[in-house]
Amino acid sequence: MAPYLSCFSPTCGSRYGLSEIVYSCGDCGSLLEVVNSFDDADPRQLKSLWQRRRTSLAPLDVSGVWRFREMLPFVTDTARIVTLPEGNTPLFDAPRAAQYAGLAGLQFKHQGYNPTASFKDNGMTAGVTQAAILGMRRVACVSTGNTSASLAAYAAASGMQAVIFLPAGNIAYGKLAQALEYGALTIQVEANFDQILGLVLELAAELGIYLLNSVNPFRIEGQKSIVIEMLEQRGWRVPDWIVLPGGNLGNISALGKGLRELHAAGLIDSLPRVAVVQAAGSAPFERLFREGGVLRAVRRPETLATAIRIGDPVSWRKAESEVKELSGVVESVTEQEIADAKAVIGRCGIGSEPASAATLAGIRKLVRAGTIEPDADVSAILTGHLLKDPDYVYRYHSGQLKTPSDEPIQSTFGNAPVTVPNDRAEIEELLLRSADQ
């Protein structure tokens, strides 16, 4: 059966063709998803095909998204694919971080090793490919940083114009720099992410601009490849837990869909549990799981983990359904917990941005609460790279980091630079003193 778009609400089920430009259901307003059928899949054959492609030099096989293109059957004309190439990100063992969390072992799937340094590239290659299939000339997104850099790069690579909307004053320079360099029309709006997204949804429809926020179901298709690649790297051994940060909740929606489809295709025979971690100042999804009912937005979301500074996550219904399906949990962590966890990940030789480090902080809390067993097999997704926001890192290590409400953050694992006079004896003395630290 050929893929089609379907309303995500089980009580509605309206269908749309793949070439329709729709982001939500015209009948009930819910988000849409691409429905694929893997009934005829031969799991053994797929696994060996994907393995063989790892030695191929063909541009699509070199991509860690399109190497798995049988799982993204919405593309029939592969000549339209826009790839940089993306994916192929490492899976690290992180013993120091495991010890900090109270676990015997812990793995990090590091999506910061992508062409624009975040997990957004896995989805953007698919989203921009769909824009190319549709013949779009302009693509747009609202972003806390990573999506904008990713969209700007893929639009540039494909010859489309990117229009990027950012919350003024709340964007890390590492990301703004990328958007500018890749030639995107960059518009800073004096509003927060949630407010801008509402506005851009209206404008995009009016002006014929293709919207590539995670409401776009084709981005979710690409983002599924993160979990596919992770499982392939693990020899298809399903972990007990997969842990990831949650903001607008596109990534957990993609992870859940990816796992459901791998299971349906017979590529895995069990499912992991999932944990979504939010920053305490921007945690509407965590509150939903604690209190039940419908999601109540956080009107003034705050966190130094700007990537997940989102109070009204647009994909919450999809995310809620995926988390429940996977017997998942949702946790929130403080600014101090995020900052310390980030430094601990750094001590493993792995650089991540604050939002990504929320995973380790959340795992530590969940182990202490007895939710995650100390001997559990846990994989966490690091969503973005350390170099997005060096200012945060410097402030933490030099004891100057403060929460959004101006409370000091302790630099528990601080590593401030040392300044010395140009004096050989003094430098030698310093080196001798620090030898066994």
Binding residues for ligand F0G, rule: CB under 6 A, are 118, 120, 143-147, 214, 245-251, 307-308, 353, 355-356, 383-384
Q: Which is nearer to ligand F0G, 105 or 404 (CB)?
A: 404
Coil, strand or helix at 109: strand
Q: In angstroms, give the least distance from the CB of 313 to ligand F0G.
A: 7
Q: In angstroms, give the least distance from the CB of 302 to ligand F0G.
A: 15
Q: Which is nearer to ligand F0G, 30 or 192 (CB)?
A: 192
> In the structure encoding, which two tokens stand for residue 129, read together?
């490919």
Q: Which is nearer to ligand F0G, 41 or 323 (CB)?
A: 323
Amino acid at 115: P
Cα dihedral sign, 403-408-410-414: positive
Q: In angstroms, give the least distance from the CB of 274 to ligand F0G.
A: 12
Q: Which is nearer to ligand F0G, 50 or 388 (CB)?
A: 388
Q: In angstroms, give the least distance from the CB of 179 to ligand F0G.
A: 11
Name beta bridge partners: 15: 6
Task: Transcribe 182-201 into DSSP letters.
Answer: TT-EEEEESS-HHHHHHHHH
Check if the beta carbon of residue 349 is closer than 8 Å to that of residue 284: no
Q: In angstroms, give the least distance from the CB of 323 to ligand F0G.
A: 12
Round to whole Å and give the CA distance between 7 and 35.
10
Round to whole Å and give the CA distance between 272 and 372.
12
Name beta bridge partners: 138: 161
Round to whole Å and give the CA distance between 319 and 301.
19
Taken as a whole, the chain contains a residue count of 437
Q: What stretch of H or E contains 7?
A: strand 4-7
Q: In angstroms, give the least distance from the CB of 79 to ligand F0G.
A: 29
Q: In angstroms, give the least distance from the CB of 30 to ligand F0G.
A: 18
Cα dihedral sign, 163-168-172-177: positive
Among candidates 232, 250, 254, 268, which has minimal Cα distance to 68? Answer: 232
Q: In angstroms, give the least distance from the CB of 153 to ligand F0G.
A: 13
Round to whole Å and give the CA distance between 119 and 359.
14
Give the Cβ contact number of residue 83 at 10 Å.
22
Round to whole Å and give the CA distance between 142 and 16.
25
Q: In angstroms, give the least distance from the CB of 172 to ligand F0G.
A: 10
User: How far is CA 394 from its chain centroid?
Assistant: 24
Q: Which is nearer to ligand F0G, 85 or 112 (CB)?
A: 112
Q: Which is nearer to ligand F0G, 129 or 223 (CB)?
A: 223
End-to-end Cα distance, the chain: 62
Check if the beta carbon of residue 374 is closer than 8 Å to that of residue 104: yes
Q: Which is nearer to ligand F0G, 141 or 267 (CB)?
A: 141
Q: Which is nearer to ligand F0G, 143 or 178 (CB)?
A: 143
Q: Which is nearer to ligand F0G, 123 or 272 (CB)?
A: 123
